[in-house]
Structure 1
């Protein structure tokens, strides 16, 4: 096996796949009702305003109708919640991917295309190939490793290609432009107004954004300790972005979790330990025999 193939299929614990799968499918459900509920409004949007993305034209996807939009919404919501349990990972996984893919085509075919969903879409396409996985299972899986790796690549490409687009359309002048200033005028918060008042800070921030996005592939060369620190920086970057110009990148943040050892997060196990430590709790073996 070549080094590239070995890197792409580096085995990970099945418990990590189970945790990531639960996270991603629960996010899909949350996305429908919390982050992008506006997509349902396209059910009543005139059909002549629908300009499908190129992939929608190639696949001859239908023009959204009230029946189509509401059917996809309720079916996707139900299937995603069941898939989060880990049942029928291939059947339910492919179903979630197909439905969410169509949901995104509907969402982005009216003049606005977000770039924060490529990592999530890749995760949804890759997870069904990982097979069955149980929470807490330490058995290592190359198929699971591949599913996480391609998601990680998509996440990093989101950053790197964003920088490439800035250079392609704005040139080197992008870093000294008024991009952030315009963003703050349109949707800035009180925190952003404070930052904008500091001379040259926005220009310095644009240099930092460009360096960060171009350097994002370096994360693959880091050991686990420094990789976790890099991921923490990625999350903090988006936290600041949301706190200043209210752009959340929530789907991207869900996919970014593919870098984390999620198998170590055991909420059910922690809850049981907490209950055992509560005063008055009696273990089963300590109960008196009547």
Structure 2
């Protein structure tokens, strides 16, 4: 079991995952959860902190506190994306983002798509140093990715458990998806809803998918990647029909992927280098002196230099 938990991975994979996660944290503040800053405008008695917020305990958020967290987290997340000072910056970003999420989720609604991302932020500082392109393998990094993967799958499996706990089989046989489509459905969802019994089939399919999700760990690598692709396609359909994105969860799920093979910076450098080398046709006509005698190799002349 310990060997499976600490299966070594390339350090480049850790570097890529670290950059992606911290860049998402910065994007999350300004794209997905900027509304957290508006929470301070409501009366303080509406703030009902989550259990962890009561245990720590954390103060009731004020405009000053939320602004400090926002700007500090935004700056530190961008710095952490570089991979420098991975422990200091990593732990600080985790602590600030955890408090940001506690504030966000302490007004009556708790989103479970943040769980795996929070776990990733908690374990990334333990993954050690990692540079893009470094193919040496690390067990510490492997452990960080494995724990994140487990949290991703727990999000699915425990979602099914919650459905059975609070709704039983009535969740699958009821009108859950129909209500979601009425409340926030798209034109595509309206078309799907017209197909008889399709929504009921989809509800049973969602339960089966969530309950069987742990099997991804016993599949061969090729099939495991295909299954993760199916996970992404499921969320793509969810976005296209009922506009629920699960963006933090999708970022955490990249822990399953060979991210070291995706190197946008290197690809950009190659592209720029290729464009900077002029083609032969761009050098103008070749003079007889440059061409040399018949059958000889062309001799570079002043035009080529």
Residue of structure 2 in register with 1:38 after alignment: 35
1:267 equivalent in alignment to 2:264:
yes
Task: Say whether the 8 Å CA contact 1:43–1:70 is kept in structure 2.
Answer: no
For residues 222 and 199 of structure 2, what CA distance do their matches in structure 1 show? 31
Q: Aligned pair 1:19/2:16, yes or no?
A: yes
* 1:231 partnered with 2:228: yes
1:92-140 CA-partner distances (Å, limit 9, x unpaired): 0000000000000000000010000100000000000011100011110
Alignment of 1:53-132 (within 5 A): 53-132=50-129
Taking structure 1 as the reference length, what is the TM-score of the superposition?
0.95
| Runs of 4+ more than 4 Å apart | 279-282
d(CA) in 1 for partners of 2:41, 2:143:
40
Larger Rg: 2
Please give the alpha-carbon distance, in whole angstroms, between the structure 1 residues aligned to 2:128 and 2:278.
Answer: 39
Structure 2 residue ranges without an equivalent (≥5): 280-299
Shift of 1:173: 2.2
2:5 equivalent in structure 1: 8
Cα RMSD (Å) of the superposition?
A: 1.5
Cα distance in 1 for partners of 2:108, 2:187 equals 29
Q: Count matched residues.
A: 283
Structure 2 equivalent of residue 169 of structure 1: 166
Name the SS for the 1:199 alignment partner.
coil
Task: Identify the residue that residue 145 of structure 1 maps to in structure 2.
Answer: 142
Secondary structure, in 3 states, of the residue corresponding to 2:110? coil
Question: Aligned to 2:112, what secondary structure does the other structure show?
Answer: coil
User: Any unmatched runs of 5+ in structure 1?
Assistant: none
Structure-1 separation of matches of 2:278 and 2:100: 47
Structure 1 residue aligned with 2:218, among 203, 221, 228? 221
Distance in structure 1 (CA, Å) of the matches to 2:265 and 2:57: 45
Post-superposition Cα deviations, 1:210-263, rounded to whole Å, max 9, x if no partner, equal: 110001001101111111111111011000001000000000000000000001
2:297 maps to none
Deviation at 1:47, TM superposition (A): 1.0
User: Is 2:193 the counterpart of 1:199?
Assistant: no
